[in-house]
Chain A
């Protein structure tokens, strides 16, 4: 059986811890912006997107405890019950970690489709938990949040990856 086509890649330098932490800080500030109305429903969850991204790209820097702590932080910032996001983020981390080799074998655009279920798992968990806690279901726009978040996957490599300093460096195919 032929292997799926692999994206020709420029040699990439490993991400530093500072870069990873900085990206999460930006995502956190993005979450804290004064969203309201339909924009609040559509607001992309960059925290979970970055969690999935770094789990796939830099698995040694991530771990279940990172996902859990980020979830608790998101819960506190969201004024929601502590643990709701932690549950969703833990699940997303597990899925991203489990399907990491498979996801890496695709082009960036296909990867966006592959990470959509990981992101949606977090959203679905959050929604179900909120329903169990007798909170009302938001409008239908809410369900567009995950696809909207997955779209940002397309621009993440350009924003976050440090390519090799030599433009003529060998390409890995």
Chain B
């Protein structure tokens, strides 16, 4: 005779077992996403789901902007217009000189058999939001795969370099700012051509040059531009200005703090530059090993950020 206790209370695994299961799943997600970057496709799909909510959440600030513009006096708008016209005229002269210089440079390159400079592709994008976490320095721009944005592309504002595209979704992209702690870029000091690597501090409005020897000729007020030796950032983009230099005899390196010129909080529009083609034989071996195994195109992955040694 089969006697069974009726299942009045179906309990399943204990709450602690469930906690362990979900915590293990979350840790697995963190490892897979952070270390192996295998959840990018899932993240892209989620970003498509989140996109309409993000747009809805941006509506109040857009509305406030529209109202502010509507009540702004025509005189103020006229003054701003005049100021922009003046700026345009000033820059027109520099732009013409630059065109001539570029043409001469390409002629000289052709004479000595060097590679020609590639024409720069670029796309205008609007900053639609900041990252919603205080741990990273990122902004979201309004253009993604639909606008032809490529991962790794440098992003500039009217004043200088803002950051680098690190994730491209269908309708928007994430730009990691140069002030992010994990962001590094090769720079040069304009006054004497000294090369260095700039690292973000993880705070808004500051970055540092940590590995400049103590005896180097560096002064507060020096301008810092991209050196272009990584082949990704075009040379000469304004990055920032040195704010303070501290030399401590106990350290081999000077403590150099800088202020970025392309502060994003003051801007609404940015320019996304194109990613230069990789030179032949210049592929990153690890990236190729990872991508060729799974049949993923190397261009589908963002070039990984340099790590602090």
Interface string of B254-267 (1 = CB under 8 A from A): 00000000000100
A64 touching B21 by the CB < 8 A rule? yes
Stretch from A91-99, A110-118, A161-169 at the B interface: A91-99
A80 touching B27 by the CB < 8 A rule? no
> Which residues of B sit under 8 angstroms from A36, Cβ to Cβ?
130, 265
> Which residues of A sit under 8 angstroms from B30, Cβ to Cβ?
81-84, 87, 129, 133
Within B4-58, which residues are at the interface with A (CB < 8 Å)? Answer: 15-16, 18-19, 21-23, 25-30, 33-34, 39, 42-43, 46-47, 50, 53-54, 56-58
Interface string of A53-81 (1 = CB under 8 A from B): 00000000000110110011100111111
B182 within 8 A of A: yes
B309 within 8 A of A: no
Stretch from A12-20, A27-35, A150-158 at the B interface: A27-35
B130 touching A136 by the CB < 8 A rule? no
A29 touching B47 by the CB < 8 A rule? no
- Give CA–CA (A34, B204) in the complex, Å: 16
- Give CA–CA (A36, B263) in the complex, Å: 14
A79 touching B18 by the CB < 8 A rule? no
Distance (whole angstroms) from the CB of A27 to the closest CB of chain B: 11
Stretch from B78-86, B132-140, B235-243, B283-291 at the A interface: B132-140
Distance (whole angstroms) from the CB of B109 to the closest CB of chain A: 40
Q: Output the nearest chain A residue to B174 by Cβ-Cβ distance.
A: A79
B136 touching A83 by the CB < 8 A rule? no
Distance (whole angstroms) from the CB of A47 to the closest CB of chain B: 11
B57 touching A135 by the CB < 8 A rule? no
Within 8 Å by CB of A83, from B16, B28, B61, B132, lies B28
A34 touching B133 by the CB < 8 A rule? no
> Which residues of B sit under 8 angstroms from A68, Cβ to Cβ?
22, 25-26
Distance (whole angstroms) from the CB of A65 to the closest CB of chain B: 8
B108 within 8 A of A: no
A106 within 8 A of B: no
Distance (whole angstroms) from the CB of B276 to the closest CB of chain A: 26
A135 touching B135 by the CB < 8 A rule? yes
Distance (whole angstroms) from the CB of B234 to the closest CB of chain A: 26
A83 touching B29 by the CB < 8 A rule? yes
From known contacts A34-B57, A77-B50, infer whether A133 and B34 are also in contact, taking CB-CB under 8 Å. Answer: yes
- Give CA–CA (A76, B18) in the complex, Å: 23
Within 8 Å by CB of B136, from A32, A97, A135, lies A135
B201 within 8 A of A: yes
From known contacts A33-B60, A76-B43, A77-B50, infer whether A82 and B29 are also in contact, taking CB-CB under 8 Å. Answer: yes
A34 touching B26 by the CB < 8 A rule? no
> Which residues of A sit under 8 angstroms from B22, Cβ to Cβ?
64-65, 67-68, 86, 90
B133 touching A79 by the CB < 8 A rule? yes
Within 8 Å by CB of A136, from B23, B28, B50, B201, lies B201
- Give CA–CA (A72, B42) in the complex, Å: 11
B27 touching A91 by the CB < 8 A rule? no
Could you show 20 A-B contacts with beta carbons less than 8 Å apart? Answer: A28-B53, A29-B57, A32-B54, A32-B58, A40-B134, A64-B21, A64-B22, A68-B22, A73-B46, A79-B174, A80-B131, A82-B30, A82-B42, A83-B27, A84-B26, A86-B25, A86-B29, A87-B23, A91-B19, A134-B182
Interface residues of B (CB under 8 A from A): 15-16, 18-19, 21-23, 25-30, 33-34, 39, 42-43, 46-47, 50, 53-54, 56-58, 60-61, 129-136, 138, 140, 167, 174, 181-182, 201-204, 265
